[in-house]
Amino acid sequence: MSEQTIALVTGANKGIGYEIAAALGGLGWRVGIGARDDQRREAAVAKLRAGGADAFGVPLDVTDDAGVTAAAALIDQQAGRLDVLVNNAGVTGGMPQEPTAVAPATVRVAVETNVIGVIRVTNAMLPLLRRSAAPRIVNMSSSVGSLTRQTDPHGETGPISAAYAASKTFLNAVTVQYAKELHDTPILINAACPGYTATDLNGFRGVRTPEQGAAIAVRLATLPDDGPTGGFFEDAGVVPW
Ligand SMILES: NC(=O)c1ccc[n+]([C@@H]2O[C@H](COP(=O)([O-])OP(=O)(O)OC[C@H]3O[C@@H](n4cnc5c(N)ncnc54)[C@H](OP(=O)(O)O)[C@@H]3O)[C@@H](O)[C@H]2O)c1
C-alpha cells in the first residue's frame, strides 16, 4: 500500500474545503476532492493538479446513501485506505432561521447535510480509515454552535438561527459521541471552527480568507498520535461547548 497519506475532503470544490484540499495537497498528500457537481468537481481537480497537488475527483453528495457508498468504493479502489477525512460540506439550509419563523424543511436540510451527512460519510469511510496507522477525522463545525458563546451576552453569536447554528451544536455533540466510542482506537476526531470566512455560504461577508479558514482543519488533520480527540478548536485554541 502507498506510503503517501490519503485524504478525502467533502465539499472541496470551493470555499474553505477547496483550500483545505490545496493545503493537504501541498503537504504531498493524495487528496480526494469530494463534490456533488461533476463540472465543479472536475474544475477544482484540474486547478489543484495544475498547482502541483495529487488530487482526484470523488463524486459525493453527502445526503445520498448510495452515492456515499460508491464514494467509499472508489477510494478503496484508488488508494486502498483512507488516512484523513475532513467532513467540510455544509449548508445554511435557507432563510429565515429565527425559531418562530423557520420552516421545518429549512431545519431538515441543515441537519440532513451538516449532521446526518457527516455520520453517513464517516461510517462509510470508517472501514478505510481503520486500515490507516494514524486516522484523523475533522468535522467542520462553527463557533455559532457553541452554546457557551450563544448564551454569552457579550459573545459574537451570529444571527439568530434554529437551523444552521443548532445543526452545528448537534454536530459537536455527535463528534463527542464518536470520540467516546473510538477512544481505544488510533482514530482522533475533532470539530473545527474556521472563523467568519468570506465564502458563498455568507455572501462573501466573512472577514477571513478561505486559506485562513482552512488552517484549523489542516492542523487537526495533521495531529500527532498523542493529539486531542473529542475536542472543538479554532486557530486561537479550544472553543467552549
Ligand atoms: N464561511 C464561514 O464563515 C464559516 C464559518 C463557520 C463554519 N463554516 C463551515 O465551513 C464549511 C465550508 O463552508 P464554506 O464557508 O466554504 O461554504 P461554501 O463555499 O458554500 O462551500 C460549501 C461546500 O459544501 C458543499 N456541499 C453542500 N451541500 C453538499 C452536499 N449535500 N454534498 C456534498 N457537498 C455539499 C458545496 O458544494 P456545491 O458547490 O455543490 O454547493 C461546497 O463545496 C461548512 O461546513 C460551513 O458550515 C463556514
* Ligand 1, atom 2: closest residue by C-alpha: 197
Phi, psi of 227 (to 5 degrees): -75, 170
The fold of 6-238 is Rossmann fold (3.40.50)
Cα 92 to averaged position of ligand 1 atoms, centre (Å) = 9
Would you state the pLDDT for residue 155? 82
The whole-angstrom separation of Cα 201 and Cα 231 is 24
- pLDDT tens-digit map of 112-145: 999 999 999 999 999 999 999 999 999 999 999 9
What residue spans define the domains of the chain? 6-238
Would you state the pLDDT for residue 40? 98
Q: Which of 40, 47, 221 is nearest to 140 (CA)?
A: 221
- pLDDT tens-digit map of 178-190: 999 999 999 999 9
Locate 205 and state its grid cell.
Answer: 461577508
Cα 185 to averaged position of ligand 1 atoms, centre (Å) = 29
The whole-angstrom separation of Cα 114 and Cα 107 is 10
- pLDDT tens-digit map of 185-231: 999 999 999 999 999 999 999 999 999 999 999 999 999 999 999 99
Task: Name the β-bridge partners of 233.
Answer: 192, 238
- Record the pTM: 0.98
Residues carrying an active site annotation: 164
The whole-angstrom separation of Cα 195 and Cα 213 is 6
Residue to probe by mutation, ligand 1, list 91, 202, 216, most atoms within 8 Å of CB: 91
Cα 101 to averaged position of ligand 1 atoms, centre (Å) = 24
Confidence of residue 152 (pLDDT cuts 50, 70, 90): very high
Distance of alpha carbon 26 from the chain centroid? 18
* Ligand 1, atom 19: closest residue by C-alpha: 15
- b or e along 129-163 (b: 16 or more beta carbons within 10 Å of the residue's beta carbon)? bebbebbbbbbbbbbbbbeebbeeeeeebbeebbb
Residues in the chain: 241
Cα 213 to averaged position of ligand 1 atoms, centre (Å) = 12
The whole-angstrom separation of Cα 83 and Cα 221 is 9
- Number of Cβ atoms within 10 Å of the Cβ of 14: 17
The whole-angstrom separation of Cα 49 and Cα 37 is 18
Cα 91 to averaged position of ligand 1 atoms, centre (Å) = 6
Confidence of residue 157 (pLDDT cuts 50, 70, 90): confident
Q: Which residues contact 228 (CB under 8 A, 6 or more apart)?
A: 188, 190
Q: What is the mean pLDDT of the chain?
A: 97
Q: Which residues line ligand 1 (CB under 6 A)?
A: 10-11, 13-17, 35-37, 40, 60-63, 88-91, 113, 117, 140, 142, 193-194, 196-197, 199-202, 206
* Ligand 1, atom 21: closest residue by C-alpha: 15
User: What is the SS3 assignment for 88?
Assistant: coil
Locate 202 and state its grid cell.
Answer: 455568507
- b or e along 197-207 (b: 16 or more beta carbons within 10 Å of the residue's beta carbon)? bbbebeeeebe
Question: Which stretches of the chain are assigned E, i.e. beta strand?
Answer: 6-10, 30-35, 54-59, 84-87, 136-140, 188-192, 232-234, 237-238
Q: How far is CA 161 from CA 25, 101, 103, 110, 164, in A?
A: 35, 10, 12, 11, 6
Using the predicted structure, report yes or no on whether residue 1 has a pLDDT greater than 80: no
